[in-house]
């Protein structure tokens, strides 16, 4: 089989994943992305382990099974484990210890199998996307994270593996749309990281096998949509469950259970025996016991992911509307909270400032004046958050603003890169 025919691009994302195959004879305007779930080109990075029959569901089906009330264990934001000490630990799933490495391998393997089914062929080579930094300011930890992802990918049957920075892959996807040379600032704000590349693109350059000279600079910061969710959750919902309230001793309520519940990949830690015991102690010592009763209801019902989904939904809604209401009746009947966009802006301001500063440093390091940037290309689901977009565009006010496929640009670009590297 030709190398080009067994090579794909895989974007294993924090929130959503895609896979693409750029094959010979494919039209210039056709997307290389492959359908992964019910005809859709994205597979949410979610696994649900059913308690009743040991069945495992993935993606939208996993979320639907969880929300329908099936007994089991939901896992989301799996990619966030890469580069952390948790990757070498395990979690309990239906009474057995499951190493986190095996959990990630299970999802990546399913992603590859679905891509192969859609393409009607086996893939043995792939270009995998990776953030500019899995881990900020720690080169060794960053390399360990990449090696871990490579080991996980090999378990799925991939033999030849290359990596590409995700914003560079997104740039390749944008390049097929342009008719002249452009200096492009690619802004990729996904679920787990914010990544940026300043790159020269053109139809002629797209035919080159080596693009190193076209990349002026790349950078990133470990801030993404899940961090925005956590910030909004801690400010808007967790105080309703007791965060920031007082104990009878006069001390402030311990914050660890709230941070676990507000962080996608640690939600299940709030259901451990140790955590449940701590919450019971907090309830006994609380000055405002009704709030702690809501917290107890939440963990008893294992509804942390449900709550996180409400918060994520509010964040998305506030990107398009001035206000959004979260119905919280699963915690306490009749409870709801209405948020204004300003509430979101205040909750995420510090995070957005860090992202903005990272982009500003990138431009300084590249010695590029803002007036020299032709286009700012946005991709990644969280790049649609208005405050983020406004702050970044302020750094290049004369540039054209282009929104790519927020969830598919990286996977499409990785597929093009796979054909270039392996074809």
CA–CA dist 408, 227 (Å, integer): 21
Residue 153: phi, psi to the nearest 5? -65, -40
- DSSP one-letter code for 370: G
Instruction: Please give the chain's pLDDT, 423 residues, in tens.
Output: 444 689 999 999 999 999 999 987 676 668 899 999 999 999 999 999 998 888 999 999 999 999 999 999 999 999 999 999 999 999 888 778 899 999 999 999 999 999 999 999 999 999 999 999 999 989 999 999 999 999 999 999 999 999 999 999 999 999 999 999 999 999 999 999 999 999 999 999 998 888 899 999 999 999 999 999 999 999 999 999 999 999 999 999 999 999 999 999 999 999 999 999 999 999 999 999 999 999 999 999 999 999 999 999 999 999 999 999 999 998 888 899 999 999 999 999 999 999 999 999 999 999 999 999 999 999 999 999 999 999 999 999 999 999 999 999 999 999 999 998 997
Task: Tell whether 361 is covered by a domain.
Answer: no
Residue 399: phi, psi to the nearest 5? -75, 150
pTM for the full model?
0.93
246 in the same domain as 108: no
Task: Tell whether 90 is covered by a domain.
Answer: yes
117 in the same domain as 249: no
Task: Tell whether 50 is covered by a domain.
Answer: yes
Q: Is 402 helix (H, G, I), strand (E, B) or coil?
A: strand
163 in the same domain as 53: yes
Q: Quick one: which of 72, 167, 63, 158 has its CA closest to 115?
A: 158
51 in the same domain as 176: yes
Task: Tell whether 44 is covered by a domain.
Answer: yes
Contacts of 226 (CB under 8 A, 6+ apart): 14, 15, 77, 80, 191, 192, 263, 264, 265
Q: Quick one: which of 310, 238, 247, 302 has its CA closest to 270?
A: 302
The pLDDT of residue 4 is 63
The pLDDT of residue 28 is 62
Tally the domains of the chain. Answer: 2
The pLDDT of residue 207 is 87
93 in the same domain as 240: no
Task: Tell whether 95 is covered by a domain.
Answer: yes
54 in the same domain as 149: yes
Q: Which domain holds residue 239?
A: 226-345
CA–CA dist 192, 222 (Å, integer): 6
Task: Tell whether 359 is covered by a domain.
Answer: no
146 in the same domain as 282: no
Task: Tell whether 318 is covered by a domain.
Answer: yes
Task: Tell whether 192 is covered by a domain.
Answer: no
């Amino acid at each position: 089989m030709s190398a080009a025919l067994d090579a794909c691009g895989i974007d294993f994302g924090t929130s959503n994943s895609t896979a693409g195959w750029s094959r010979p004879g494919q039209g210039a305007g056709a997307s290389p992305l492959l359908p992964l779930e019910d005809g859709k080109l994205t597979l949410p990075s979610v696994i649900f382990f059913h308690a009743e029959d040991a069945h495992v569901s993935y993606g939208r089906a996993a979320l639907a099974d969880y929300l329908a009330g099936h007994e089991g264990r939901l896992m989301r934001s799996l990619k966030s484990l890469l580069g952390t000490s948790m990757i070498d630990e395990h979690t309990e799933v239906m009474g057995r210890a499951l190493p986190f490495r095996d959990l990630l391998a299970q999802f990546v393997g399913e992603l590859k199998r679905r891509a192969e089914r859609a393409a009607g062929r086996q893939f043995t080579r792939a270009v995998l996307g990776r953030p500019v930094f899995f881990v900020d300011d720690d080169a060794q930890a960053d390399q360990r994270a990449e090696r871990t992802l490579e080991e996980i990918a090999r378990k799925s049957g991939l033999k030849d593996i290359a990596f590409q920075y995700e914003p560079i892959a997104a740039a390749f996807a944008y390049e097929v749309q342009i008719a002249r040379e452009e200096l492009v600032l690619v802004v990729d704000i996904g679920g787990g990281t914010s990544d940026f590349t300043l790159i020269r693109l053109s139809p002629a350059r797209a035919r080159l096998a080596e693009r190193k000279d076209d990349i002026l600079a790349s950078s990133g910061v470990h801030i993404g949509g899940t961090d925005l969710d956590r910030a909004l959750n801690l400010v808007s919902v967790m105080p309703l469950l007791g965060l920031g309230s007082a104990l009878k001793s006069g001390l402030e309520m311990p914050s660890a259970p709230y941070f676990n519940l507000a962080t996608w990949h640690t939600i299940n830690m709030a259901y451990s025996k140790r955590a449940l015991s701590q919450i019971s102690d907090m309830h006994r010592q609380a000055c405002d016991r009704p709030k702690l009763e809501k917290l107890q209801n939440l963990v008893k019902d294992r509804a942390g992911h449900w709550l996180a989904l409400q918060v994520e939904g509010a964040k998305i809604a506030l990107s398009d509307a001035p206000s959004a209401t979260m119905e919280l009746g699963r915690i306490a009947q009749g409870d709801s909270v209405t948020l204004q966009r300003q509430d979101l802006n205040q909750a995420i301001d510090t995070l957005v400032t860090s992202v903005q500063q990272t982009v500003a440093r990138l431009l300084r390091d590249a010695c590029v004046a803002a007036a020299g940037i032709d286009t700012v290309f946005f991709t990644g689901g969280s790049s649609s958050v208005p405050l983020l977009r406004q702050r970044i565009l302020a750094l290049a006010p004369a540039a054209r603003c282009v929104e790519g496929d927020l969830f598919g640009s990286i996977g499409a670009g990785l597929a093009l890169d796979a054909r270039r590297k392996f074809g």
